[in-house]
């Protein structure tokens, strides 16, 4: 089981990952993180589990992951910046993860709006950002990350759109080393977002983004339509051009690359 001692051994962060709650099995690391009191969970606290019995994904989906193969963890943050930057935390997260994957595996990961990480067009990582006021007036952000590391089998339904680092690289990946690198990259991205205009983070994210100029299918609630992805706006929404030539911003929902 990945625990606090392994994580802290050669961890190069100032605060991220210095407080750790680790489990063999839990309902959801995000749910556990949410109910921790602020004084039990300082900024940068990590909650990690080998298995989740009720892992949650975006858009009310489940997040299913076999025990002991992947990284399932949550980072608790108390941002020292406003909502306009808080909404960009998933961009900091996906960029940190993509950079950590590249550094540790030699693969070339890309970021897909709003907060997925893909390799060779297949999703290897998803993120669920939640917020609560906790027991004080300070905003508490719960950034949950599910990263497929050493999983080798996916259901028929998933195997054309999901993958893992082991499948894509052909080698077993050291999960502790990868987690440490993610925490280091994420701490740096958090500081970048905190100290500089958000355009700086978004420009870096754009360099790793997959969709721009491509035909996509947009899924908004139950409704889907074709469009071209143009850019990401300063508030994190996606600028698209619909088939009738109109430009629109998408704030929530999901997009996939159109193959026809």
Q: Counting every residue, how long is the chain? A: 260
Helix (H), strand (E) at residue 210: none
The Cα–Cα gap between 95 and 220 comes to 24
Give the max Cα distance, the chain. Answer: 56
Interface size with ligand BTN, residues (CB under 6 A):
19
72 near ligand BTN (CB under 6 A): yes
146 is a site residue for ligand BTN (CB under 6 A):
yes
Residue among 112 and 189 whose Cβ is closer to ligand BTN: 112
What is the rounded CA–CA span in Å between residue 91 and residue 116? 9
Does 94 contact ligand BTN by CB under 6 A? no
Nearest-approach distance from CB 46 to ligand BTN, in angstroms: 11
Give me the residues paired with residue 76 across strands: 45, 142
Taking CB under 6 A as the rule, does residue 29 contact ligand BTN?
Answer: yes
Alpha-carbon distance 68 to 53, whole Å?
13
Judged by CB under 6 A, the stretch of 50-58, 85-93, 102-110, 151-159 that binds ligand BTN is 50-58
Secondary structure class of 20 (helix, strand, coil): strand
Q: Which of 101, 144, 179, 238 binds ligand BTN (CB under 6 A)?
A: 144
CB 109 within 8 A of CB 120: no
114 binds ligand BTN (CB under 6 A): no
Options 9-17, 96-104, 122-130, 222-230: segment touching ligand BTN (CB under 6 A): 122-130
For binding to ligand BTN (CB under 6 A), which residues are involved? 28-30, 52, 55-58, 61, 63, 72-74, 126-128, 144-146
């Amino acid at each position: 089981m990945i625990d606090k001692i392994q994580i802290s051994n050669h961890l190069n962060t100032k605060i991220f990952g210095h407080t750790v709650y680790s489990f063999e099995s839990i309902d959801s690391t995000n749910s556990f993180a949410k109910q921790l009191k602020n004084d039990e969970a300082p900024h940068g606290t990590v909650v990690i589990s080998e298995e989740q019995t009720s892992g949650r994904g975006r858009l009310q989906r489940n997040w299913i992951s076999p025990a002991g193969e992947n990284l399932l963890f949550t980072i608790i943050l108390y941002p020292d910046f406003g909502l306009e930057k808080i909404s960009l935390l998933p961009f900091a997260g996906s960029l940190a993860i993509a950079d950590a994957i590249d550094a540790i595996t030699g693969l070339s990961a890309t970021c897909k709006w709003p907060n997925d990480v893909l390799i060779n067009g297949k999703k290897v990582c998803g993120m669920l950002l939640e917020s609560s006021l906790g027991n004080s007036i300070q905003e508490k952000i719960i950034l949950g990350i599910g990263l497929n590391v050493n999983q080798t089998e996916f259901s028929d339904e998933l195997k054309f759109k999901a993958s893992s680092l082991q499948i894509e690289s052909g080698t077993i990946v050291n999960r502790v080393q990868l987690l440490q690198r993610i925490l280091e990259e994420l701490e740096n991205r958090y500081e970048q977002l905190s100290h500089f205009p958000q355009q700086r983070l978004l420009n870096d994210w754009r360099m790793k983004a997959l969709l721009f100029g491509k035909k996509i299918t947009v899924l908004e609630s139950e409704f889907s339509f074709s469009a071209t992805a143009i850019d990401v706006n300063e508030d994190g929404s996606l600028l698209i051009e619909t088939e009738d030539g109109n430009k629109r911003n998408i704030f929530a929902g999901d997009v996939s690359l159109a193959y026809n």
